[in-house]
Structure 1
Amino acid sequence: MAGGSDVAETSSLSCARCGNPAHLQCPKCMELKLPREGGAFCTQDCFKASWRSHKSVHLKEKQSSIVTGTPREQNSDLLDEGWLYCLKKGQARTPKLPYFDWTGTLRPYPISSRRAVPAHIERPDWAVSGIPQIEPNSDLQHVVEIKTRNQIERMRETCRIAREVLDAAARVIQPGVTTDEIDRVVHDATIEAGGYPSPLNYHFFPKSCCTSINEVICHGIPDARKLEDGDIVNVDVTVCYKGVHGDLNETFFVGNVDEESQRLVQCTYECLEKAISIVKPGVRFREIGEVINRHATMSGFSVVKSICGHGIGELFHCAPNIPHYGRNKAVGVMKAGQTFTIEPMINAGVWRDRMWPDGWTAVTADGKRSAQFEHTLLVTETGVEVLTARLPSSPNVYPWLSA
C-alpha cells in the first residue's frame, strides 16, 4: 500500500475518516485526478485505517474509464468531433455508451463517420441503400455455383488485392494504434487498387473492415480504442473488384502476448490449414467441420457454431454454408469450379456467443478470447487453390511460419 502525499498547510480540507484538518492526500486519487475532498487524511494512521474502503473509489473510477471507453476528457473531445457509439446494426448512433451485461473487459468506443468512396469506383447494390437487392433473392442461395473461367480469373485478381490490403493493415498493427486507423488503411488501400470495401454499408455495417479484439469473435466495428500491449486482434477484409468479392482474415499479436493466447491463435491457424488440406472434388462439405472440431478440441479449445463459412463470387454470401463444428448437417459435395470461404472461429472457453448492442459485434459468452483465420478457396480438378494465399511480400508476423 502506497503512503500519502503532503497537502499544503493552508488547506481547509477535512480528513475523509475522522473530520480533523487534513495534511495528507491519497497519491492514487491525485493520479486519477479525483476530487481532493475524498482523498484527504489527517495522518498516515487514518489513511491506513481507511485504505480498505477508500480504495474502492479508485476501482469505481477505473471501471468508469472502461465504460466510457476513453478517459473522460478524450471521450468528450471525440463526441464533440462527431464520434458516436453505434446502435441498431449501424442504423443509429448515440452519445452514451449503451447498457449491456458485458461478458469481458472490452468495451465499444465511439466510431467516426462513414468514409467516402470516390465516384469512379464500381459499387455493389448496397453501397447507397445499405440493403443488398440481388443477393437475398438469388438462386445461388440454394445452388452452389460452378464458376466460369472468366469469373475465376476475376476472383484471382480480386483475392490478390484483398491479400495486399490485409497485409497493409498488418504492417500498422502495434500498441497505441486505433482500430479506426486500421480501417482507414484498409479503406484507402482498397480504393487505391480500384476496389470497393465490401463490408461498407452492407446491411448498414458502418466501416470498411471488421476488427475483432480479444473476446470479440467476429464483426467487431473499428472505433477509437487504441490497441494495447497483449491484445490479439483479427482484421477481416473483403474487396469487391470487377464485380466479384475476395474475402480473408487473420488474427494478429499486439506487442507481447501471453502464452495461452499465442497457443489459441496458432491452433486456429492450424485448424484452417488442416481444413484446406482436405478440399478437393468429391469431399463432403460437412467434413470440413469434423477436421476443425477434432484439432480444436484436442487442443483444449471450442468451435463457434453460430457463424459459418460461405460461398462467394459475384455475391458476397451465397451457398454453400460451411459449418466449422463437428456433426454438422451441411449438404453436398465439392466440385471443381466452386469457390467458398473457410473461416474457423476458435474460443479459449465456451463456444457460445452473445451480441453487443450495436447488433454486429459477436463476443464470447464467458469473456474469454477468440481467434479466427479465413481464406477464399477454389476447388480445382485435382485439389484446391487458395486464392487469398500469403504472398512473398506478406509480413512475417507468425513465429511458426519461420520455424
Structure 2
Amino acid sequence: MRNVARDIKNHVLTGISYMIPLVIAGAVIMAISRVGGSMFGIQDIWDESYAESGNVIIRLLHDIDGFGGIALDLMFPVIAAFIAYSISDKLGIAAGLVGGMLVKDIEAGFLGALAAGLIAGYVCLWIKNNVRLPKSMSSIVPVFLVPVFGTLITLLAIQYIIGVPFASLNTGLENWLNGLSGGNQIIMAAIVGAMVGFDLGGPVNKAAVTTAMALLTSGIYGPNTAAQVAIIIPPIGLGLATFIAKRKYNRELREAGKSSVVMGLVGVSEGAIPFAVESPIKVISCTVIGSAIGSSMAIGLGAVNQAPISGFYGWFTVDKWPVYILSIAVGSLFVAIATVLLRKEPELAEANQLEDEDDFDEEEWEKEWES
C-alpha cells in the first residue's frame, strides 16, 4: 500500500512539473497586461469592450491578457496528460489531454484534473497489459485500442462518476475562499504559509503551492499571495542567520547561507534544506512560524499577487508591493533571529575549529590574491 501511495505521489508530481511552466507563462503574461492597463486607469482590461478600443495600446493589452488566458486554459489538460504519461508512457497522453479538457469544461477543478490523469493513465496501462491479440494484429493495441477505449473510458468515468462530486467540491472551495474576510482570511494565509514552510519543497509544500496556483484560474488570489511570500522566507531567513551569528556556523553552513539568500531571492525554497537537515526540529519550527507570519501579514495588509512568481523580479507587479516586501522582510527576520537564539553556542573545541577555519580561509584567499 505504501508503494502504491508513493507511486501515485510521483505520478502527480510529474504532472505538476509539466504544468508549472504553463501557469507561470499564463499568469505573468496576464499580469503584464493588467499592470499596463492600470497605467491607463483600467482595472478590467480583460473585458471584451476593450477589444474595440480606439487606443491601439489598450487593444494590444486586452489581446495580451487573452494570450495569458490561453496558457492557463491548458493547465488542466496538461497536468492530466502528463500524470497519465508518467503511468503509461505516451499511450496515456491522448486520454489524459481529453480528460483534462472535460474537467475544465465541467469545472471539476484541480483535484478533478489529478483524478482524470490517474484514471487515464491506469486505464491505458491496463489495456496495454491485458488485451492480447494475434501477433499479426498486435500493433492495433497501441495505435487504436489504447487511445480510443482509454479515452472513452476516462471520459465516461469523469462525466458520470467523479465529475459532479469534484465540481461541487471545487465550487464549494471557491465560494468558501471568496467568502473569507478579515480574521478568517488571515488564518487561511497563515495555514498556507505554514504548509509551504514545513518541508521546503516537499509534498506538503507542493500541495499548498500548486493548489494556490490552480485557484488563480478562478480569480482567487489570496492563497497564491500567501504561498509566494512563504516560499522565499525560509531560505532568506536562514541565510541571514549565518551573517547575524557567523561564529555559530561552520564553514560549510556559512557557504550554504550565501547560496540560500540568493536562492530565496529567486524563489527556491530548497536553499533552506542544508539547515533543516542539520537541525530539523529547530529549523522547521522557525520556518513554519516565520512563513505563517509573513503570509498572514501580507494578506492582512491587503497585498495581492496575481502571478505565481515568488522571486524578486515579480515583487513590483504585486498590488501594494511595499506591504508585500515588508511582510517578506518581517518573516525572514523572524526566521533568522529565532534560529540564532535557538542555536547553541559551539563547544570550546568546536569554536576553536571554527576559528581555524576562518583563519585558513583568510590566508588561502590572501595567497590566491597575491598570486
TM-score, reference length from structure 2: 0.24
TM-score, reference length from structure 1: 0.23
Q: Which protein is richer in helix relative to its size?
A: 2
Q: Which protein is richer in strand relative to its size?
A: 1
